[in-house]
Amino acid sequence: MIRVENLSKNYGPVKAVRSISFDLEDGQVVGFLGANGAGKSTTLKIMTGYISPSSGNVYFNDHNIQDNTSEIQKDIGYLPELNPLYSEMRVHDYLKFISEIRDIPKEDFKPAFQKVVEECGLNAVAHRTIGNCSKGYKQRIGLAAAMIHDPKILILDEPVTGLDPNQIVEIRQLIRKLGKEKIVIMSSHILQEIQATVDRIIIINEGSLVADGSSDELLSDSNTKTELSIDVENANENDINDMKATIPSVEIKSIYKEDNFTNISIEYPKNNDPRSDIFNYAVEKGWVIIEMVARKQNLEDIFRDLTRNGGKNNG
C-alpha cells in the first residue's frame, strides 16, 4: 500500500503541490490527471524519490520514501514523461544496462529480457539501435526498462505518448494485466484512454487534489448539466423563448434556424429531466419534433470544469 500524506512542494514562492493526501491499494490501476503545470509530474517524482517534498511524506507499507529511498526504489518502475534513452545503444544492450543498474543477476537477465520484449511488443526491434526506432517503439522501450526488474509499483508518466491506436490498445491491455498484481499509477492527457484503462481517477489542479474516485463516481458526483439538442419544424422564436417560463428547469443555450427546421440547444440539471414536459409543450404549440438527443457529461467535461474553475474535492 502507498500512503501520500500532506504532501507539499514549493519552488521558491511557487507552490507546485499543496498538501495533498491519498492512499493507493495493491492491485489497482490509478489515473493521475491534471492540466499542464498542475503538479502531477512533481508529485510522481516525489513518489519515486527523485526529488524531496517541502513537507509531508510518502509511505510504502509504512516505510517513508525520504528515509528509505534506495530500498523503496528497488520496488518502483518509473517511466518519466521525457523518456531518457541512449540513442546509440541497441535495445538489447540498453535493457541489459538497465538490468545491471537494477542488480538483476546475470542468469536472470535473459528470461527478464524475453518477458518484457514480448509484453511490450519489441521483438521486431530487439537488436536495433534505439536511435533508428520510431517514437512509438522508443516509448515501449522506456516501458520495458521500467518493467524489467518486475517492480511492485509502476509509475507511468504519459505512457502512450507517440503510440498509434493499435499500440495504445496493446499497452492498455498490458497495463490492465499488470494492475492485477501491482500498483500502477499513470498520467495521461488522453482522457478517453484513462477512462478505458484505470480503476480510479485522481485529479489535481494548481497543486491541490480536486477529485478522487472511479469514473462512474466522478460522473455521478459532478454538478455538470445535461445538454439536449432538439430539431423541430414549425417553431417560432417567441414560443421557444417562452418555453423557459413554462418549464423552469430548462436553460436555452442557442437557437439555430434553417428553412423550416430549428435546432434548439438546451441544458438542464441531471436530476430534473424535462423531456416529457418539452414534448407536451411542443404538441401544444404545434411543433413537429424531428429529433431529441441528450448528451450526458463525460470525463472530459468534468476535467475541464475542475481544472478551469478550481473545482471541488469529490474524494
Cell of 145: 526498462
Percent of the residues in the chain that have a pLDDT greater than 70, as a whole number: 97
Mean pLDDT of the chain: 89
At 70-103, the pLDDT tens digits run 999 999 999 988 888 999 999 999 999 999 999 9
Helices (H), 30-164: 40-47, 69-73, 91-101, 106-119, 135-147
Beta carbons within 10 angstroms of residue 310's beta carbon: 11
At 252-295, the pLDDT tens digits run 999 998 877 899 999 888 778 899 999 999 999 999 999 999 87
Answer whether CATH 1.25.40.10 is correct for domain 2-221. no
Contact between 243 and 281 under an 8 Å Cβ cutoff? The reply is yes
In the chain, CATH 3.30.70.600 covers: 226-296
pLDDT at position 314, please?
A: 39
Q: How far apart are CA 268 and CA 2, in angstroms?
A: 40
Cell of 186: 499513470
pLDDT at position 114, please?
A: 96
In the chain, CATH 3.40.50.300 covers: 2-221
Which superfamily does CATH assign the domain made up of 226-296 to? Ribosomal protein S10 (3.30.70.600)
pLDDT at position 92, please?
A: 97
At 137-188, the pLDDT tens digits run 998 999 999 999 999 999 998 888 778 888 888 888 888 888 888 999 998 8
Name the band, by pLDDT with cuts 50, 70 and 90, for residue 191: confident
Whether the per-residue pLDDT at 223 is higher than 70: the answer is no
pLDDT at position 309, please?
A: 53
DSSP state at residue 292: E
Q: Which of the two residues, 73 and 222, has the higher pLDDT score? A: 73
